[in-house]
Structure 1
Amino acid sequence: MTAPFRPALVEGLQPLANRYDLVLCDIWGVLHNGVKAYEAAGEALTRFRGGGGHVVLVSNAPRPGASVATQLDGFGIPRSAYDAIVTSGDLTRLAIEERLRQVVHHIGPQRDLPMFADLGIRFGTIEEADYVVCTGLENDERETAADYLLRLEAMLRRNLLMICANPDLLVERGHMIIPCAGAIGLAYEELGGPVYYAGKPHVPIYERAVAKAAALAGHEIAKSRVLAIGDAIRTDIAGAVAFGIDSLLIARGIHAEELNLHQGALVSQHVQDWVDRQAARPQAITTTLSWAA
């Protein structure tokens, strides 16, 4: 009988660091919670880079990587913590560039409009559009995907493609858990609508991130030497499994309640029971990203 899979419970990145040349690190939920930065996380990635490793931040942010870097500066996350940023916004923008002659209908808040900057995009209603880009909910603190049902049904009648610029279902903002574009994408998919997900857990964003790291390193990087870090089973861990790389789950994120964290400590049996229920499983789990406890 096969023994049950047991992820290692580690106290920081240090116990794992020597096994890897490249870290692909999630941003929201790992480096910050949308309100404040996690200082120890930035320090851990800086230490990893100081030992010769490379770090590419891989985010489902529905904005280009350059604008995410500016946001991280505002949080006080040091540039020494990473070599490059790849976002689902970058991949969404590439998909938009393939459709410059088409009319787009945008679902999402005004803050995501940098996605379309300098592309000469023509916007239109659902009835006028050739496709839809969903970057999020227009008011993610009050709305849910159910509030978009009439629009999704109208899109389905025209069989419009939705490009989902943020495949996350949920994200942590301070002490709140809020819905993301992925919740709308999933609702449209369940109605039978066609959806292209631009970010994690889908392979293209990992291919782009590893290629960028290889260019910086000046050589190819074996998948066996790549570690993904994130706080979401559905995107970060499932994406790592699909791409064939190891992963480290940050427990004090969107799964904190499910993992039954008690006074900041991971209880082994609680963790194992939870992991056994998951389709995708990380090689290791730590409470928050730090170099060492």
Structure 2
Amino acid sequence: MSDFPRLSDLAADYDAILCDVWGVIRDGSDLLPEALDALRCYRAQGGMVVLVSNSPRRASSLETFLKQMGSGEDVWDSAVSSGEATHALLESRAPGPAFKLGPDWDDALYEGTGLEFAKLEDAAFISCTGLFDWETETPDDYTDLLTEAKLRRLDLICANPDIVVQFGDGLRYCAGALAQKYQEMGGTAIMAGKPHPPIYDLAYREIERLRGERLDKARVLAIGDGPHTDIQGAQSEGVDALFIVDGILGQAFEAGFDADKAAALLAEDGLAARYCAPKLVW
């Protein structure tokens, strides 16, 4: 066994993998070939891979996006996304109207929901897919907007619970950062993505549909780089986790991988992963 767990060391113990996308198989700008190859090898041995992403995209859109980036057709069996789980929430609240908070490139999420949109003062709730401009803005730029929303007692439905995501060598704020700020202000935020149950329910249904048999959670491995999304979610669901430290916490390991340090960082928030590794490799 190598100085950190490789997927080949673990594969025989698990029938299915719930694999995060950003920070595991993609660094925000490029795909990570070693991680893609690891999932291919796992599937070649009979394992099943379901991508579980907090992307606000619908699952089919996420899969198309990754394939257009050059992932290939043989890396995963299915995908579920926060966007997919959130779509159902939004559909249940149609016609709204909703105040749309986020960039226009996320608009595909709303197709088929029947939602109408309005200015904040006329909205029944907020639908948040992210910051309007994640390259230049921070959550502090939204203090006035969220203050008004709180005064109007508007729920904020968050399509991506991630606080930050790896983007090349840096980090960018996500919708979860706005939801967190809103909750700290006393507002109500509603989320369906990791670490919350709806997205896992979707993943389990996909595994059972494809395998044609009931799922044994003891034979499921969650892989991710987000302590408060991937690892907390796996812990809450009672499944084993492989924590990838070169994702959003990568800067803490610039001097090299340290399994004890990774475990200590998780423990600070009451979290634990069965395995830790710098990256996903076969």
Q: Please tell me the TM-score bracket, short chain as reference.
A: over 0.9
Question: Closer, same or farther in 2 for the Cα pair 1:98/1:195, shift >3 Å?
Answer: same
Whether the 8 Å CA contact 2:259–2:277 is kept in 1: the answer is no
Residues 186-245 of structure 1, C-alpha deviations (whole Å, 9 max, x = no match): 011111111111200111211110111111000011110000000111100000000110
* Alignment of 1:109 onto 2:100: no
Name which of 111, 115, 139 aligns with 2:133.
139
1:122: how far off?
1.0
CA distance in 1, matches of 2:78, 2:194: 17
* Alignment of 1:266 onto 2:257: yes
1:96: how far off?
1.0
**Runs of 4+ with >4 A deviation:** none
Name which of 274, 277, 282 aligns with 2:273.
282
Whether the 8 Å CA contact 1:10–1:286 is kept in 2: the answer is yes
Residue-pair matches, total: 281
For residue 72 of structure 1, what is the aligned residue in structure 2?
66
SS at match of 1:257: helix
CA distance in 1, matches of 2:260, 2:180: 32
* Alignment of 1:100 onto 2:94: yes
* Alignment of 1:35 onto 2:26: no
SS at match of 2:122: coil
CA distance in 2, matches of 1:57, 1:63: 13
Question: Which segments of 5 or more consecutive residues in structure 2 lack a partner in the other structure?
Answer: none
SS at match of 2:50: strand
Question: Closer, same or farther in 2 for the Cα pair 1:238/1:269, shift >3 Å?
Answer: closer
Q: Which letter does structure 1 place at the counterpart of 2:11?
A: A
CA-atom RMSD in angstroms = 1.4
Of the structure 1 ranges 10-19 and 215-224, higher mean CA displacement relative to structure 2 is found in 10-19
CA distance in 2, matches of 1:205, 1:29: 18
Q: How does 1:90-239 map to 2 (within 5 A)?
A: 90-239=84-233
SS at match of 1:81: coil
1:95: how far off?
0.6
1:269: how far off?
4.3
1:153: how far off?
0.9
Whether the 8 Å CA contact 2:235–2:271 is kept in 1: the answer is yes
CA distance in 2, matches of 1:59, 1:218: 23
1:274: how far off?
2.8
CA distance in 1, matches of 2:254, 2:234: 24
Provide the identity percentage.
37
Question: Closer, same or farther in 2 for the Cα pair 1:231/1:278, shift >3 Å?
Answer: same
CA distance in 2, matches of 1:56, 1:267: 28
Question: Closer, same or farther in 2 for the Cα pair 1:22/1:194, shift >3 Å?
Answer: same
Q: Which letter does structure 2 place at the counterpart of 1:99?
A: R
1:78: how far off?
2.0
Question: Closer, same or farther in 2 for the Cα pair 1:283/1:189, shift >3 Å?
Answer: same
Question: Which segments of 5 or more consecutive residues in structure 1 lack a partner in the other structure?
Answer: 1-7
Whether the 8 Å CA contact 2:242–2:277 is kept in 1: the answer is yes
Whether the 8 Å CA contact 1:9–1:285 is kept in 2: the answer is no
CA distance in 2, matches of 1:9, 1:286: 9
Whether the 8 Å CA contact 2:245–2:262 is kept in 1: the answer is no
1:281: how far off?
0.9
